[in-house]
Copies of this chain bind each other. A is one copy, B any other.
Amino acid sequence: MRVYLDIARHLEQEVRHYFQAGDYLPPESKLAKKYDVNRHTVRRAIDELVFTGLIERQQGRGNMVVSQPYDYPLHAGAHFTDNLMEQGSLPTSQVISRGLVAANEKIAGMFGVELESQVIKLRTLRKINGMPASVIDHYLADLHWWPVVKHFEVGSLHAFLKDKLDVHLTRKSTRLRAMMPKKTDCRLLQLSGKTPIMVFKTTNVITGTDRIVEFSSSHTRSDLVEIVLEH
């Protein structure tokens, strides 16, 4: 059983060998016919590739290949450093999902909006030398940004907002802890479940004001990344 995992593996090989970033997969319906399974099963397989950041779904358009093939990961144990001051403005991240979600109590409270009101949610994956290093959920308060944010694909979110919307963000506070990865973390970060992750929660305000307009939660592999703060 678990046909979708076989298909996911096969699809991933196909993508890495014969597709480039920007290409689109064949339609789900075609793939379903090709693999002789229900379209649900193909979707479930593609879900896996979306999770790992290889594919991005685009309703009405298709499933796009996000990252380059042949990005071979380094041997484990390699060591990187990171600069906390650049969290949220990291240049090497790519979007793996986006949409509007209802604000939960915490988010609504921070943003000063009604509970259940809609906010923008982006999930980005950051890779270092082809290795997934951290997955970051961004929440944006201002729905007016959505038409623009819809087209953000790779690079720095903060730079993108500054560029396209003239919105300048400043970090207000950062909260940090460590924990063992959940299943989703393991999948997204290709983790074994034995190494802990670091969790950063940061709030960002519009520069010069106290209005929190972005909240992000980052899950970072602790074996690949060492955080550096220069005072």
Which A residues form the contact surface with B (CB < 8 A)?
Answer: 5, 9, 12-13, 16, 50-51, 53, 56-57, 66, 70-71, 81, 84, 101-102, 104-106, 116, 170-180, 182-184, 194-198, 222, 225-231
Contact = CB atoms under 8 A, between A and B. Distances in A.
Given A50-B184, A106-B71, A184-B50, A178 B194 contact: no
A178 B175 contact: no
Given A173-B230, A178-B196, A179-B196, 14 more contacts: A13-B105, A51-B184, A56-B183, A70-B106, A71-B105, A173-B228, A174-B228, A174-B231, A176-B226, A176-B229, A177-B226, A178-B178, A178-B197, A196-B222
Nearest to A184: B51
Contacts of A9: 102, 104, 116
Contact of A102 (B5, B71, B180): B5
15 contacts: A5-B101, A51-B184, A53-B182, A57-B183, A66-B182, A84-B176, A84-B229, A172-B231, A173-B228, A175-B229, A176-B176, A177-B225, A178-B178, A178-B222, A179-B195
A51 to B, nearest CB: 6
Nearest to A225: B177
Nearest to A219: B53
Contact of A175 (B179, B194, B226): B226
B229 A177 contact: no
Nearest to A226: B177
Interface centre among A170, A172, A179, A230, by most chain B C-beta atoms within 10 angstroms, is A179
A90 to B, nearest CB: 17
A141 to B, nearest CB: 18
